[in-house]
Amino acid sequence: MPDEVALRRLGVLVPVSPDTDRLVPSLAGLLTLGIYPQEFFPQLNVTFVVLPSDQAGAVPEGGPRFIDNRSLNGPVPQIVSDAVDAIARNMRIESTVRGVGREDSYEYPVEALREAVVNAIMHRDYSPPSRGAQVQVEMYPSRLLVRNPGGLFGPVAETELGTEGVTSSRNPVLSALLQEVQLPDSDRVICENRGTGIPTMLEQLRRSGTASVRFSNAISHFTVIFTHAEHNDPDGRVQSTGEVHQAQDVNGRSAEILELFDGQQELTASGIAQATGLSKAMTNRYLARLVAAGRLIATAPASSRNRAYRLPAF
């Protein structure tokens, strides 16, 4: 079919008024396929700041107000790419020596951050009263916030976030277009539009063991809050504000680890991590708790390469 017909059926082009055939880009079409949508909607972008203190507005004496401060503009694919790059440049990289090599990991999983940014842009409120507000990404020493205008939409409740099959789209045309448009210099589309964004985010956090996430919902805005593992609760839970959604609580995960032992069999942290799918860092945290509680015995000091674990003899 002619391009104009196809673009109209996809919702990229719409009549300028009901009584004319003259077509103009829809808001979703402009944001997705436009060159510079901010020419017409200056605030439909993402702002990114890195703050030196955990208290907003608390500026160290003689120090800068922001460590980094950016306004990310362009069509949605470019904004997503630039936002993830900006966050990654400001994250700490943790290195672990394994044999003769080194394994680097970010303090927050990049894939989880991308999902949070995409969800914020895709599900934000684009109604006229909200077009003066942007998606905000704020990075503090202990946490990272992704905030979008507009609370949860439709039948989705905060306690159901991450539950399989639960999804609702405030902006269906934008969501449909973003599942077809690729990230810059990539063959990967922006989103799947199958309600898998938050489950993917939670799974990435579970695997990495470096951070947890919680959600804060209000009528005017929705916030995803990532907290670095150094500042998490000891059980490393991934939770919503109501603490209803948990990736795995400490008792369940500890029981899973204990079930791996058969009598006086000894297991290493690497073997346990491989069997459970946990990261090495998260595995070590659970093992430390189990040793402190007397549920496991470490066979060597923590600094020893031959350190293993076994059940105590009762």
Residues 6+ apart with CB under 8 A from 82: 46, 70, 72, 74
Arithmetic mean of pLDDT over the chain: 83
Q: How many Cα atoms are found within 13 Å in the side-chain-facing hemisphere of 59?
A: 8
Would you state the pLDDT for residue 231? 53
Q: Which domains are present in the chain?
A: 3-244 (3.30.565.60), 251-310 (1.10.10.10)
115 Cβ partners below 8 Å, 6+ apart?
Answer: 197, 198, 200, 201, 204
What the block records as the tokens of 64 is 């800068």
pLDDT at 100: 55
Measure the CA–CA gap between 153 and 282, rounded to whole angstroms.
Answer: 34
Over residues 268-287, the mean pLDDT reads 82
pLDDT for position 104:
63
CA distance linking residue 196 with residue 202, whole number of Å: 10
Is residue 236 predicted with pLDDT exceeding 60? no
pLDDT, tens digit (0-9, with 9 covering 90-100), for 175-234 = 999 999 999 988 889 988 777 778 888 888 888 887 889 999 999 999 999 998 655 544
Question: What is the model's pLDDT at position 232?
Answer: 54
- Sign of the C-alpha dihedral, residues 30, 31, 32, 35? positive
In this model, does residue 289 exceed pLDDT 50? yes
pLDDT at 265: 82
Please determine, for residue 246, whether its predicted confidence score (pLDDT) is greater than 60. no
pLDDT at 115 over 50: yes
Which pLDDT value is given to residue 299? 87
Q: How much is the pLDDT for 282?
A: 74
User: How does pLDDT run across 84-107, given as a tens digit for each residue?
Assistant: 999 999 987 765 555 555 566 788
Q: How confident is residue 245, by pLDDT bands cut at 50, 70 and 90?
A: very low
Dihedral, CA atoms, 109, 111, 112, 118, nearest 10 degrees?
150
In angstroms, the CA 288 to CA 266 distance is: 16
pLDDT bin (cut points 50, 70, 90) of residue 126 is: very high
Angle ∠(305,309,313) on CA atoms, nearest 5: 145
Instruction: Place 173 in a pLDDT band, splitting at 50, 70 and 90.
Output: very high
Span 283-293, average pLDDT: 78
pLDDT surpassing 70 at residue 83: yes
pLDDT value of position 96:
56
Tell me the average pLDDT across 305-311.
86
